[in-house]
Amino acid sequence: MASNAAQTLKSQFGKAILSTVEFRDEHTLVVSLEKLHDILAHCQGKLGFDTLTDVSSLDHLGEEPRFEMVYELYSLSAKVYLRVRTSVSEDNLVVPTVTDLWATANWHEREVYDMMGIKFVDHPDLRRILMWEGYPFYPLRKEFPLAGKPSEMPDVAFTGVAPLEGGPFVTQPSTAGSISREPRARN
């Protein structure tokens, strides 16, 4: 079904489908940003991809276009997945929202906005979801340092490097079995 969907979309949208990739029975379409919403609407309305399982973004620092959006679709009736990708230029970080097609896109798009700074046109509630309003950085961008950045809001976020060794979610190295290395076993 996913290969049929890819062929249908290629015939319907022509040059807007930039490439198709099949790997281990997974189908990915790379599409133009200008036709992204039309293609996703066709997937949802005509091809039966009734579930949007994820919306994510990639940062290809040093390349242009720098960013990429990835939409993971699923058809409940046909039990198949389809991945749709599009490139987003650093000069124009604007993508059409798909909240009008799938309600689940709301939080996914807010997370992409919060972590990468990509804005979604006509999103009903585009505001930060993980970081506080007014936070000036986008933590999943590649230029964001692993040690973090100093915060002027110490009550909200600490300014030191997050401890990893011995932290509450880190297993302890030893020859013991995994059950005794589990962090909850230390208490």
Q: Where are the domains of the chain?
A: 2-144
d(CA 89, CA 169): 37
83-119 in b/e burial notation, b at 16+ Cβ within 10 A? Answer: bbbbbbeeeebebbbbbebbeebbebbbbbbbbbbbb
- pLDDT given for residue 13 in this prediction: 95
* Alpha-carbon distances of 133 from 101, 142, 151, 158, 176, rounded to whole Å: 27, 21, 13, 16, 45
User: What integer pLDDT is reported at residue 133 of this predicted model?
Assistant: 83
CA distance 129 to 107: 8
Tell me the pTM: 0.80
Which residues neighbour 68 within 8 Å (Cβ) at sequence distance 6 or greater? 57, 58, 60, 85, 86, 87, 88
Q: Which residues contact 13 (CB under 8 A, 6 or more apart)?
A: 31, 35, 38, 39, 42
- CATH architecture assignment, domain 2-144: 2-Layer Sandwich (3.30)
Residue 39 is predicted with a pLDDT of 97
Mean pLDDT per 10-residue interval, the chain, length 187 residues: 83 95 91 98 96 97 95 95 97 97 97 97 94 86 78 58 52 64 57
CA gap 109, 57 in Å, rounded: 10
What's the gap between Cα 95 and its chain centre?
13
Contacts of 26 (CB under 8 A, 6+ apart): 2, 81, 83
